[in-house]
Structure 1
Amino acid sequence: MSLAPIEIETGPRPTASVILMHGLGADGNDFVPICNELDLSGIGPVRFVFPNAPVMPVTINNGYPMPAWYDIYGPIGDKGEDEAGLRRSMASIEALIAKEKTRGIPASRIVIAGFSQGCAMALLTGLRHAERLAGIVGLSGYLPLAATTAAEATPMNRDVPIFMAHGQHDGVVVMSRATASRDALKALGYAIEWHEYPMEHSVCLEEIADLGAWLRKVLG
């Protein structure tokens, strides 16, 4: 990662952690304001971890360097996936999970979350993690390396709660791509809590409220 993660604790001695990955071209500051909108007071102190993706040339943006978890060669799904980049970033996120464990947060109290490219990383990492997580959150994104999911997903997270949300007018990750990911996960037996909103490639207050309710449920 290009920079150390941003960390915010809602109180002393956190008992749960939420690791939230930003989208393409953003950084760890992008979702810091969400901490002030989520009402998690009923579940005890929470540590939010906002990693920063490495800066790399991104093919779809004419090779311009920007924060990215992996390269995008063309319109999503049209020109293959950057498997090497995806797996490198997955290893970095696994290191963050390991760090939380060393600080006393068990896997069962860790939520992996992300927006857009960060959503892809949350699904990729969370489904393959060796211990049962508290949950996985995918916002405005899709399931990467879908063809390998069944073979690589760990039995420990077969019943992990998954929150997925998407904008009905998203022109970056189109709705059909998101629903195909949702349906692929459902076909593998995962329980998905699905939400959609009349928005573009963004986040809305209703979505944050729904996410807060879900987090209170899986971490309560």
Structure 2
Amino acid sequence: MSKLETKVVYNHPKQEPVGAVIWLHGLGADYNDFVPIVPELRLSESVKFVFPNAPVIPVTVNNGYHMRAWYDILNFNDLHREVDSNGIIINVEHINTLIDDLINSGIPAGKIIMAGFSQGGVISYYTALKSKYNLGGLLVLSSYLPDLSLLSVEEMQHKKELPILVCHGTQDPVVRIEYARQAIQYLQSFNLSYQWLEYPMEHSVCYDEIVAIGAWMKQIFAK
């Protein structure tokens, strides 16, 4: 069992789920953050949505204030971000336990999507790209890859069939779009397939983006 507290939502509660989405919130939010989006995705397939809570830790760049965070941010400016990479790996392992639990419950790895916003997107990136399973998809919203040394060439070479959707706001002042594009360039260097969508928004989610996410998920769960 995972050490993370989770909230589980079914889009069609009376039907057996054919797949699952593990959706991670951003810095300072909690597992309720993306629950309202579930019905907006308009998925006809029955899907189990798992929303984990990040642990409460002191965040260095916020003067050590305790908040829900997937890892500590030690320093950041326009050119550089320094993060606690060990904290990233620890929470990737916690998410791996959630994936194992879903598979043990009968949901195939190929029907499990990793999704996350901002810090949650970071954990989703590393979880899906490092996973021993061939997951159903990777959804990254307003996020980036802060430490490429955490990924090996071998891991990346085994993810060429992984469906990836990356969305970002062109006016994002928190995670600048240049950071997101650097992550995309890294995916390109290993010939990974992906969809890249930009929206005229800041560090948030918009309606058109939700529509695109729903359409993308339908393709995965309908296979």
Aligning the two structures, in what range does the TM-score lie when normalised by the shorter sequence? over 0.9
The CA RMSD over aligned residues, in Å, is 1.6
Normalised by the length of structure 1, the TM-score is: 0.94
Q: Percent identity?
A: 42
Superposed displacement of residue 84, structure 1: 0.8
Contact 1:162 1:191 in 2 (8 A): yes
Superposed displacement of residue 39, structure 1: 1.3
Secondary structure at 1:8 match in 2: strand
Q: Structure 1: any 5+ residue segments left out of the alignment?
A: none
Normalised by the length of structure 2, the TM-score is: 0.93
For residues 155 and 98 of structure 1, the distance between their equivalents in structure 2, rounded to whole angstroms, comes to 22
**Which amino acid in 1 is paired with 2:23?**
L
Superposed displacement of residue 185, structure 1: 0.9
1:206 — aligned with what? 208
2:61 — aligned with what? 60
- Work out which of the residue numbers 142, 163, 187 in structure 2 matches 1:161: 163
- Between stretches 193-202 and 152-161, larger displacement belongs to 152-161
For residues 146 and 49 of structure 1, the distance between their equivalents in structure 2, rounded to whole angstroms, comes to 27
For residues 2 and 65 of structure 1, the distance between their equivalents in structure 2, rounded to whole angstroms, comes to 19
For residues 16 and 106 of structure 1, the distance between their equivalents in structure 2, rounded to whole angstroms, comes to 7
Q: Normalized per residue, which structure has more helix?
A: 1
**Which amino acid in 2 is paired with 1:62?**
N
Q: Structure 2: any 5+ residue segments left out of the alignment?
A: none
Superposed displacement of residue 153, structure 1: 1.8
Q: How many corresponding residue pairs?
A: 218
Superposed displacement of residue 195, structure 1: 0.3
Moved over 6 A (4+): none
For residues 147 and 79 of structure 1, the distance between their equivalents in structure 2, rounded to whole angstroms, comes to 14
For residues 75 and 204 of structure 2, the distance between their equivalents in structure 1, rounded to whole angstroms, comes to 21
Contact 2:19 2:46 in 1 (8 A): yes
2:185 — aligned with what? 183
Secondary structure at 1:200 match in 2: coil
1:8 — aligned with what? 9
For residues 205 and 55 of structure 2, the distance between their equivalents in structure 1, rounded to whole angstroms, comes to 23
**Which amino acid in 2 is paired with 1:90?**
V
Per-residue CA deviation, residues 177-204 of structure 1 (Å, 9 max, x unaligned), is 1111111111111111000000000000
